[in-house]
Structure 1
Amino acid sequence: MTSKWRSSVLRVASRLEELDYFQLLNLSKDASSTEIRRGFRRLAQHYHPDRLGGSEDSELRQAVSAIYRRMTEAYSALRDPTTKAAYIEGLENGELRLDSTKVRSRSIAREKAQQPGQTEAGKRHYQAALAALERGDHRAATSEIRSALLFERDEPGFKALLKRIESS
């Protein structure tokens, strides 16, 4: 570790709250999944906490840990096209960090807009399942979507929601 590297790390750490994920990972907004992965790996080698070895420099240790955590957060948000799109949308509203509850709410809102189902009862149970899911009540969501499937057992949207609930 050189003093130049230490200064660089401390400078990045001091600006961490001002950087969006693309700036942090040195990427353009239209970066592909491959470019995002490569960008993360390149910087991970530079800022990985293991690079410090047995250093007792607590200021540097905290800075490297903060940078690496934020890089990991950025990579997790940008590697998935859906969360990347949600992040870009939030970024346009001045949000530098991804809010996973907003991503979930946007996803649920899109599902509500698509409105699968043919029968009123099926649609009603589907909507109730989405509302329960939004509240975080997986048990009620499962019950409601299964009720919807009683009315329309072959509805792909209902099946997809059940699968999503069961996998979460």
Structure 2
Amino acid sequence: MAPPRPPAASAPPPPPAAAGGPALSPEQLVDLESRCAKLDQTDYFELLGLERTAAPGDIKKAFYKESRVYHPDRFFQLESKALKDQVNELYKRVTEAYYVLRDDTKRKKYLSDIAGPDRAQKLRFTDASESETKAAAKKEQEEQIGTHPKGRQFYTQAQKDLESGNPSAAERNLKMALTYEPSNARYKEALAEAQKQTADKSKGDSSFKIR
């Protein structure tokens, strides 16, 4: 009969990370302190350790790397309120950076902002700056196809007329568009093109009848 086996040794207690507590090394604590101290002078690329030419995949990797270390859920048992606040503030800014940089339009606007003379005031992409971006995009679009709603409506219809091979209808709609915006250069150019196509079409029809 085999001798009884000794009882298995009890498993060691889990490390702080597995137990749900903080797992910041002394180096990381220094890093956290340093980064929080200069958050107001750091742009989103610097915050995520990225070049300004970073690809979307690199932006995502950088965000997940920061999230693994500084996600607030890892520090819910922490007694130090000051440290908790630092973690929360850093993670909030990291999330904000990812929200902006992952979006092509926001990233382009942000790059322009931080490269300009007002960099210090443009480091954070606020709701106000997003509204400004949308307003600028709307203004750019209006400048391209007109500022008056009725003018844009007739111009848009004229474009459809030209695409369907009906330049005479396009000509009428463009003349209507110009009654709302007499100085719109785009409308004038489109009208000249419509008139040219109408004339060419008339010549072609006349030539066909003569034959």
Please give the range of the TM-score, normalised by the shorter of the 2 chains. 0.5 to 0.7
Q: Closer, same or farther in 2 for the Cα pair 1:37/1:115, shift >3 Å? A: same
Q: Closer, same or farther in 2 for the Cα pair 1:81/1:126, shift >3 Å? A: farther
Match of 1:25 in 2: 48
Please state how far the C-alpha of 1:32 moved relative to its aligned partner: 0.8
What is the TM-score when the length of structure 1 is the normalising length? 0.68
| From 44, 49, 61, the counterpart of 2:67 | 44
* Residue 100 (1) aligns with residue 130 (2): yes
Counterpart mapping for 1:78-117 below 5 A: 78-93=101-116, 94=119, 95-98=122-125, 99-115=129-145
Superposed CA offset, 1:26-80 (max 9, x none): 1111111111111111111111111213001111111111111111111111101
Q: Between Structure 1 and Structure 2, which shows a larger proportion of helix residues? A: 1
Higher relative contact order (CA 8 A, sep 6+): 1
Aligned alpha-carbon RMSD (Å) = 2.5
Match of 1:55 in 2: 78
Please state how far the C-alpha of 1:153 moved relative to its aligned partner: 10
Superposed CA offset, 1:116-158 (max 9, x none): 7xxxxxx62178xxxxxxxxxxxxxxxxx9xx49x83986xxx
SS of residue paired to 1:56: coil
1:73, 1:52 → 2: CA distance? Answer: 20
2:77, 2:94 → 1: CA distance? Answer: 22
Which aligned segments of 4 or more residues in structure 1 are displaced greater than 4 angstroms?
none
* Residue 124 (1) aligns with residue 151 (2): no
Gaps of 5+ in 1: 117-122, 128-144, 156-168
SS of residue paired to 1:68: helix
What is the TM-score when the length of structure 2 is the normalising length? 0.55
Match of 1:165 in 2: none
Match of 1:152 in 2: 157
* Residue 70 (1) aligns with residue 70 (2): no
Counterpart amino acid of residue 124 in structure 1: H
Percent of pairs with identical residues:
25
1:113, 1:30 → 2: CA distance? Answer: 30
2:26, 2:63 → 1: CA distance? Answer: 24
What number of residue pairs does the alignment pair up?
129
Q: Closer, same or farther in 2 for the Cα pair 1:126/1:13, shift >3 Å? A: farther
1:59, 1:83 → 2: CA distance? Answer: 32
1:50, 1:126 → 2: CA distance? Answer: 54
Gaps of 5+ in 2: 1-23, 161-211
